Structure 1
Amino acid sequence: MEVVNPIVRRWQQEAADDHEGFWARAAEQIPWFRTWDQVFAWDPPGFRWFLGAETNLCYNALDYHVRRGWGGHAALIAENERGERRVLTYAQLLHEVERVAAALRGLGVRRGDRVGIYMPTCAEAIIAMLATARIGAIHLVVFAGFGSGALAQRLQLAGARVLLAADATWRKGRTVPLKPIVDAALDTLDGQVERVVVLRRTDDSAMQPGRDLDWDEFLALGAGQSAEHEVMEANEPAYILATSGTTASPKLAVHSHGTYQVGIRSTADWCFGMKPTDIWWSTSDIGWVVGHSFIVYAPLLVGCTTIAYEGALDHPGPETVYRIIEENRVTGIFTSPTAARMLMRYGTEPARAHDLSSVERVFCAGELLNPPAWEWLQKEVFQDRVPVLDHWWQTETGGPVVGNPYGLGMLPIKPGSAGVPLPGFALAVMTPEGERCGPDEPGIVVIERPFPGLTPTIWGDPERYANEYWRRIPGVYYTGDSGAIDEDGYVWFSGRADEIIKIAGHRIGTAEVESAFLRHPAVAEAGVTGRPDPVRGEVISAFIALKPGWQPTELLKSELLGTVRQELGPVAVIGELNFVSMLPKTRSGKIMRRVFRAVIADQDPGDVSTIEDEASVEEARAAWRRMRAEIKGGQGDGSAS
């Protein structure tokens, strides 16, 4: 059957026939201070787009709209679980951004400097992001749920000298202190971070004299300083953002002023059909790329109203989500399958009690949107009145790559598929050896050509960028996800090809978790994997081998969970912790995580001929059985929420 409408097919063909010309036409849709001398230059693995073009991401998100007479239109609605609400028009948001931009300059921040931001999804955090980009500095937002170890590591990798932080956030009615995490992180960095600006929300935050400033003191530094935007070449970085890697060290993906802007502005149109009259709500956090691209930058580039929400979506109850939709007359929603599964637990009654008639379309991403979750949203919550559409992308791509192109003309929905490659994005499925797979044949999803928005490097580590992305299967970009493309061109993702755990849409590398466990003096070896979880998508299953002289106890288990929480924050949810005498490893010493997964699923681990000691497989299986017995007996599972 014909599943691609003529417009989508024509756009895909135009992009295939003239890749550079296609993206040049897309780039003409955004304002430039100066247009490009050359569309594209590729010296594999490095590449650049729109060489010589000049722009500024913040200017196009704010100043451009104010100058065209859109200053009185609502730009940002910031809400939180405490019921507080703040609305800023484009003119008001620009004014606040200019104040912070001047203050950053007063603090000594200059073009190219890295500025850390450790704040929840609040108005000040978004203002700080925009102000940093405005002055040509580079922001690094760290999710305000990570622990001190993860915060310190990211600040160190970025070389940040300034940190903007909140002293607390709110989660399910509790005040969650953040300042102690900041202090613990900076204690390990030997003075690298010279100044800390603290958005004080409580009265008991300890401030370090000479280093820490409160928000008002910070703003006062802007007196006499310029708030003007910097003119940036299209390939100059606007921000860097950590994404998990297969080693213990996260990767800092780089996104630039011009190329990233073209990518997200185009896909906001093609994939989401975003328009200036939209009231847009992405339920993500600014600590993730979804928050960067579709809470902050793309909606503001389009000129619509974007909602930023801080707190738990189901606090004080599940009606919170539906109340926000009704009160703000939300037209477009971007959420995660995790959020959908969480709301499913409460049933449809809360949705029925609210007017959701303003909603025109719903998008999901962050992990696989399994058919039951899709069906619940599509048929029960929205009663088939609006489409619920899956799509796929990554931190590295900046914006959607695969989706159902709502803005160009919807295709038939295939539940469980992320959709088709969007125009301008050349996707293929290959074997690990680089052979192209046939229809429905599973393999590794790769990208065959760079596109605007694809990260051109890893901050400070171009060799790692080349090795992890362009050399695994030579000549193509290795996404790390496995999947298949059916005969109609729809892409079906089946999970990670490498060792990444996705918890409620948050990506955590196994090596990061194992490294956190190894910080405890009792741990000799640690191996972790993800196991399915009905709400979070995945949680962590851990297998721990202790050093001689240590014995497995409930107290030790609690200490180990606390160690991981301290390093990575509550996002690293441990589903269970099993003590074993050894880990299943290959003869070369590599941990065989597929054995863990087989044990957890109570399935045959398959060929174990390469395992160093096959007895460890049976021990892991026995540990799992013991853990299951403990759960059934009500003795606890060692989980962390």
Structure 2
Amino acid sequence: MEHVYSKYSVYKRWLEDQEGYWREFLEKTSNLIYWAKKPDQIFEWNPPQPFRWFTGGYTNAGYSAVDYKVGRFGDKTAYIYVNPELGLERRVTYGELYNLVCRFSAAMRAAGVGRGDSVLIYMPNTVEAVAAILAAARIGAVSSTVFAGFSPKAVADRVELVEPKIIFTQDYSVRRGRRVPLKENIDEALKISPWRPRMVVVRRSLMEEKEPPMDRGRDMWLEEFLEMGKAGDCSPLFVESNEPLFVLPTSGTTAKPKPVVHVHGGYQVWIIHGALLVYGLSSDDVIFNTSDIGWVVGQSYIVFAPTILGATSVLFDGVIDHPRPDVFWEVVEKYRPTLIWTSPTAARMLMRLGAHHARRHDLSSVKRVVTAGEVLNPEVWRWLYEEAFQKRVPVIDHWWQTELSGPAIGYYHALVKDMPQGLEFMQIKPGSAGVPIPGVEVEVVDEKGNPLPPGQKGTLVIKKPFPGMTPTLWKDHRRYMADYWERFEGKTVYYTGDAAYVDEDGYVWFGGRADEVIKIAGHRIGTIEVESALLTHPAVAEAAVVGVPDPIRGEAIAAFVVLRPGWSPSEALRRELIEHVRKTFGPIAVFAGMEFVNMLPRTRSGKIMRRVMKRLWTGEPLGDLSTIEDEASVDEVREAVSRLKVLKIEE
């Protein structure tokens, strides 16, 4: 029987000759990814040992991004740093970036950082932060970037995980008018952690405030650090393909964060593979990515892939609705991006603010919009496509994880553009992340790992490694195998932890995390499905639902709703929204309650923290809240839960 994805010629090519596909891709991208020595072997794996891609090849992601591009793009802008809140702008060419990265490289070596040593970056989206990441890669060191805003305890956890020789930070940053004391946070973190690294501090320009305390035996300003390497060695170091490039700890709940490892060879290949196949990127593009370098999206599609491609990036240091509600659209009009890369959360925020902000600005430079991070609800997709961008550009959802480094399920860019008649065409299905891309083979399974037929909900697994997948956790391979590959007895597959089903056309539809699926009297309903149904009501700006214990049905739905401007909470509206959901799901959509709130608890990367809402209901410990955007949202939901437990919905 022909494979369901064979209708896409590029996927069929991979199916027919998987090793040949990757050898051909290495040749096609030889002007992007530099190999000092070509690989001897494409793939090898003897479980439970770490798998290896492009074995025997020697490369360096920092060199590919900077040195390998400066000859062709020296005078071209690599980054446009933008901080709307402070009114700052800075343009850096590839030549200037090369010089800065070389200075960082030499100074790191002078400070004793060498091959395999780690450095930690606790900074916002700035040119200096990008330079530190690229310089660490260039000399064979391992960087670990922490979101600039995590609490001292969260930073201490990550310091203990990676044991950096140097921490790079900034005296402080500003977020929504509030001063974030980054240097002081590190000081507090190092009181918690027994590890004693050196610290390099970047001084904020244009800030007339008291300087933070400096420990002269440990701390130095960036200018002092760079002076250390003035006459030092800044030459690049080529490393074997499977040597570590960076460690990115995922957020923990009650346990310590998982320190995900990405390596030089497979990582470069995979992020460029996704950039070309899913995003259709080239050196002609200007990329506006609203993510942060503390997340994998920022690492892959702010720091490494754009520079490896020779593109220009808008380095956005701010939030999309402050200091003005249309600041996002201002940035688009002024800097003329061709690609917008954002999150569904950001899209919902823009939708809540209204399409009139978009229509006041010239968006004609934009050729495509992509989102990822959680499901792009169909109603939000419709708003972006029809109202914000006037049906002019494709809006593409897709799926991947921190552990996967780049797109794994998505839409093939060339097939969703206006193509000459006769070429294959790919339908966008709002609400679906698309189909697996070459290299990725997926399956939906039940609780025991048995495959499920199309249309039936279960947990998505990936049947074998692909180049961008993390091969291990930092210094804890046993945990890696147990958490990701050995979840089902007698079966070695990668456990994504995401609930999903595959339709008859092979499109993948996600329903949230597998442990967030609501089980009502034997029926499985995804949290995303209920939230998407709520978002189709004109009153609803945002919604989050969780399953809570029900003595009769096992679980019932607890819903928390943020209303659009012009709507007010009422018992009648509550009933109307519940009936609105039941029109989609029927009587199986049993509600424990619904309450209106002004904000939802979410991480600083924008993901809704459903487990917090569920634990507020059950009274369990909330776990790690270090990644939360606004702690006031927890208090708001706590009060809503108290009201819900008094005002039960009558069935």
Bin the TM-score by the shorter chain.
0.7 to 0.9
Q: Does 1:575 align with 2:634?
A: yes
Task: Note the 1:65-144 alignment, pairs <5 A.
Answer: 65-67=69-71, 69-81=72-84, 82-144=86-148
| 2:645 paired residue among 606, 622, 625 | 625
Equivalent residue, structure 1, for 2:40: 37
Equivalent residue, structure 1, for 2:292: 285
| Aligned-partner SS, 1:350 | helix
Contact 2:149-2:180 within 8 A present in 1 as well: no
Equivalent residue, structure 2, for 1:478: 495
Q: 1:245/1:432 Cα in 2 relative to 1: closer, same or farther (>3 Å)?
A: farther
| 2:510 paired residue among 480, 490, 493 | 493
Q: 1:77/1:530 Cα in 2 relative to 1: closer, same or farther (>3 Å)?
A: farther
Q: 1:89/1:27 Cα in 2 relative to 1: closer, same or farther (>3 Å)?
A: same
Contact 1:546-1:579 within 8 A present in 2 as well: no
| Aligned amino acid, residue 366 of structure 1 | G
In structure 1, C-alpha distance between the alignment counterparts of 2:53 and 2:240, rounded to whole Å: 10
Contact 2:306-2:312 within 8 A present in 1 as well: yes
Q: 1:378/1:544 Cα in 2 relative to 1: closer, same or farther (>3 Å)?
A: closer
| 2:616 paired residue among 543, 549, 555 | 543
| Aligned amino acid, residue 306 of structure 1 | S
| 1:382 paired residue among 389, 395, 416 | 389
Task: Tell me how far 1:259 sits from its aligned partner.
Answer: 0.8
| Aligned-partner SS, 1:575 | helix
Equivalent residue, structure 2, for 1:464: 479
Query: Which 5+ residue runs of structure 2 have no aligned equivalent?
Result: 418-425, 518-526, 529-545, 547-556, 563-599
Task: Tell me how far 1:222 sits from its aligned partner.
Answer: 0.7
Equivalent residue, structure 2, for 1:344: 351
| Aligned-partner SS, 1:139 | strand
| Aligned amino acid, residue 434 of structure 2 | G
Task: Tell me how far 1:406 sits from its aligned partner.
Answer: 0.8
Task: Tell me how far 1:109 sits from its aligned partner.
Answer: 0.8
Q: Does 1:417 align with 2:432?
A: yes
In structure 1, C-alpha distance between the alignment counterparts of 2:269 and 2:160, rounded to whole Å: 30
In structure 1, C-alpha distance between the alignment counterparts of 2:203 and 2:163, rounded to whole Å: 25
1:531-572 residue CA offsets vs partner (Å, 9 max, x unmatched): 76657552432439999xxxxxxxxxxxx99x976x556466
Q: 1:114/1:447 Cα in 2 relative to 1: closer, same or farther (>3 Å)?
A: same
Between the two structures, name the one with larger relative contact order (CA 8 Å, sep ≥ 6).
1
| Aligned amino acid, residue 348 of structure 2 | R
The TM-score normalised by the length of structure 1 is: 0.80
The TM-score normalised by the length of structure 2 is: 0.79
In structure 2, C-alpha distance between the alignment counterparts of 1:165 and 1:628, rounded to whole Å: 49
| 2:173 paired residue among 169, 172, 181 | 169
Task: Tell me how far 1:92 sits from its aligned partner.
Answer: 0.8
In structure 2, C-alpha distance between the alignment counterparts of 1:574 and 1:627, rounded to whole Å: 21
| Aligned-partner SS, 1:363 | strand
Task: Note the 1:184-223 alignment, pairs <5 A.
Answer: 184-190=188-194, 192-201=195-204, 202-223=209-230
Task: Tell me how far 1:497 sits from its aligned partner.
Answer: 1.3
In structure 1, C-alpha distance between the alignment counterparts of 2:559 and 2:244, rounded to whole Å: 36
Task: Tell me how far 1:31 sits from its aligned partner.
Answer: 2.6
| Aligned-partner SS, 2:192 | coil
Q: Does 1:310 align with 2:314?
A: no
Contact 1:241-1:252 within 8 A present in 2 as well: yes
Task: Tell me how far 1:17 sits from its aligned partner.
Answer: 2.3
| Aligned amino acid, residue 645 of structure 2 | R
Q: 1:175/1:627 Cα in 2 relative to 1: closer, same or farther (>3 Å)?
A: farther
Deviates more, 1:119-128 or 1:18-27: 18-27
In structure 2, C-alpha distance between the alignment counterparts of 1:339 and 1:622, rounded to whole Å: 29
Equivalent residue, structure 2, for 1:555: none
Q: 1:544/1:412 Cα in 2 relative to 1: closer, same or farther (>3 Å)?
A: closer
| Aligned amino acid, residue 92 of structure 2 | L
Question: Percent sequence identity over matched residues?
Answer: 45
Equivalent residue, structure 2, for 1:594: none
| Aligned amino acid, residue 20 of structure 2 | G
| Aligned amino acid, residue 478 of structure 1 | Y
Contact 1:147-1:569 within 8 A present in 2 as well: no
| Aligned-partner SS, 2:8 | helix
Equivalent residue, structure 1, for 2:14: 15
| Aligned-partner SS, 2:634 | strand
In structure 2, C-alpha distance between the alignment counterparts of 1:276 and 1:370, rounded to whole Å: 31
| Aligned-partner SS, 2:330 | helix
| 2:467 paired residue among 452, 458, 461 | 452
Q: 1:86/1:531 Cα in 2 relative to 1: closer, same or farther (>3 Å)?
A: farther
Q: 1:407/1:213 Cα in 2 relative to 1: closer, same or farther (>3 Å)?
A: farther
In structure 2, C-alpha distance between the alignment counterparts of 1:272 and 1:230, rounded to whole Å: 30
Equivalent residue, structure 1, for 2:334: 327
| 2:154 paired residue among 107, 131, 150 | 150
Deviates more, 1:199-208 or 1:163-172: 199-208
| Aligned-partner SS, 1:43 | coil
Task: Tell me how far 1:203 sits from its aligned partner.
Answer: 3.3
Contact 2:342-2:370 within 8 A present in 1 as well: yes
Query: Which 5+ residue runs of structure 1 have no aligned equivalent?
Result: 503-509, 511-528, 548-559, 581-599, 601-620, 630-641
In structure 2, C-alpha distance between the alignment counterparts of 1:79 and 1:128, rounded to whole Å: 18
| Aligned-partner SS, 1:50 | strand
| Aligned amino acid, residue 625 of structure 1 | K
Equivalent residue, structure 2, for 1:236: 243
In structure 1, C-alpha distance between the alignment counterparts of 2:618 and 2:507, rounded to whole Å: 44
Contact 1:37-1:50 within 8 A present in 2 as well: yes
| 1:257 paired residue among 264, 282, 294 | 264
Q: 1:531/1:568 Cα in 2 relative to 1: closer, same or farther (>3 Å)?
A: farther
Task: Tell me how far 1:186 sits from its aligned partner.
Answer: 0.3
Task: Tell me how far 1:174 sits from its aligned partner.
Answer: 2.5
Equivalent residue, structure 2, for 1:438: 453
Q: 1:545/1:279 Cα in 2 relative to 1: closer, same or farther (>3 Å)?
A: closer
In structure 2, C-alpha distance between the alignment counterparts of 1:572 and 1:292, rounded to whole Å: 26
1:108-134 residue CA offsets vs partner (Å, 9 max, x unmatched): 111101101000111111111101111
1:409-458 residue CA offsets vs partner (Å, 9 max, x unmatched): 55211110001111221111111212111111111101111111100001
Contact 1:41-1:47 within 8 A present in 2 as well: yes
1:173-202 residue CA offsets vs partner (Å, 9 max, x unmatched): 232211221111001122x23201111225
Q: 1:231/1:365 Cα in 2 relative to 1: closer, same or farther (>3 Å)?
A: same
In structure 2, C-alpha distance between the alignment counterparts of 1:166 and 1:219, rounded to whole Å: 15
| Aligned amino acid, residue 453 of structure 1 | G
Deviates more, 1:398-407 or 1:354-363: 398-407
In structure 2, C-alpha distance between the alignment counterparts of 1:397 and 1:248, rounded to whole Å: 21
In structure 1, C-alpha distance between the alignment counterparts of 2:436 and 2:430, rounded to whole Å: 16
Contact 1:578-1:624 within 8 A present in 2 as well: no
Deviates more, 1:43-52 or 1:405-414: 405-414
Task: Tell me how far 1:369 sits from its aligned partner.
Answer: 0.5
Q: 1:215/1:627 Cα in 2 relative to 1: closer, same or farther (>3 Å)?
A: farther
Task: Tell me how far 1:384 sits from its aligned partner.
Answer: 0.3
Q: Does 1:362 align with 2:361?
A: no
In structure 2, C-alpha distance between the alignment counterparts of 1:399 and 1:122, rounded to whole Å: 22
In structure 1, C-alpha distance between the alignment counterparts of 2:138 and 2:559, rounded to whole Å: 42
| Aligned amino acid, residue 616 of structure 2 | F
